[in-house]
Homo-oligomer: A and B are copies of this chain.
Amino acid sequence: MRKLGVFNNVSLDGYFVDANGDMRWAYRDKPDAEWNAFVAGNASGEGELLFGRITYELMASYWPTPLAKQNMPAVAEGMNRMPKVVFSRTLDKVTWINTKLVKGDLATEVRKLKAESGPDIVILGSGGIVSQLAQEGLIDEFQIVVNPIILGKGRTMFDRVTQRPTLKLTKSRAFANGNVVLNYEPAA
C-alpha cells in the first residue's frame, strides 16, 4: 500500500487559499537559499501528484510555460515529469503532460490508487479533496508549511472534517524566511 500525503502552505490563520482562492501569497519575494533547496528537493523526487480540478487548472496553466521554467527550473521539471491524477466530474480531457483524469467517487478511487504499485502520492492545494480524504481517514501524512503572514480571510483545507482528529507531530523545521514545515501522521 503506498502512502498518501498532503503538502500545502498555510497562513498563520490557517488558510491554504485567500478569499479569492489564490495561493500566490505563499510565494513571497524574499530569497532563502535553504528554502529554495527544500522545495527543489521535493520536486526532484519520485511521487505521484493528486489534484482537484481547480488546483489542476491553476498548475496546468503555469508549470508547462517558459516563465515557470525560467523562474523555478527544478520545480517546473519535476511538476511536468511526475505522474499526475486529477479528480473532476466536469473536465472532459486533460492537456498537461503525464496527467490522468479520474471521474469516479473520490474515496473509492483513492483507495484503489493507494492499493496500486507506484510511488507515494502527494496532494497539492485541492482543499476540497484534502478535506474529504482527511474525513475518510485516508491521508497518511500532512506536511504543512506555516507561512509568516496573516490573511484575515480565506479557506482552510479541513472544513468538512468533523471528528476532531488528533495528529502525531513527526518533524518540524524552521527556515530563515520564516516558514515552518510541520509534519504529522494520524495519531494511532
Which residues does A use to contact B, with CB under 8 Å? Answer: 10-15, 25, 28, 134, 142, 144, 146, 148-153, 156-162, 164-169, 172, 174, 178-180, 182, 184, 187
CA distance A132 to B97 in the complex (A): 47
Copies, count: 2
When C-beta atoms are compared, the residue in chain B nearest to A157 turns out to be: B13
Q: Which of B10, B14, B184 contacts A15 (CB 8 A)?
A: B14
Assess whether B169 is in contact with A158, with CB atoms less than 8 Å apart: no
Main SS at interface, chain A:
loop
Assess whether A158 is in contact with B25, with CB atoms less than 8 Å apart: no
CA distance A168 to B11 in the complex (A): 13
Query: Within 8 Å CB of A164, what residues of B?
Result: 25, 149-152
CB distance from A30 to the nearest CB of B (A): 9
- 10 extra interchain contacts, Cβ-Cβ under 8 A, other than A14-B15, A148-B184, A150-B158? A12-B182, A13-B14, A13-B157, A148-B166, A151-B164, A152-B159, A152-B161, A168-B178, A172-B174, A172-B180
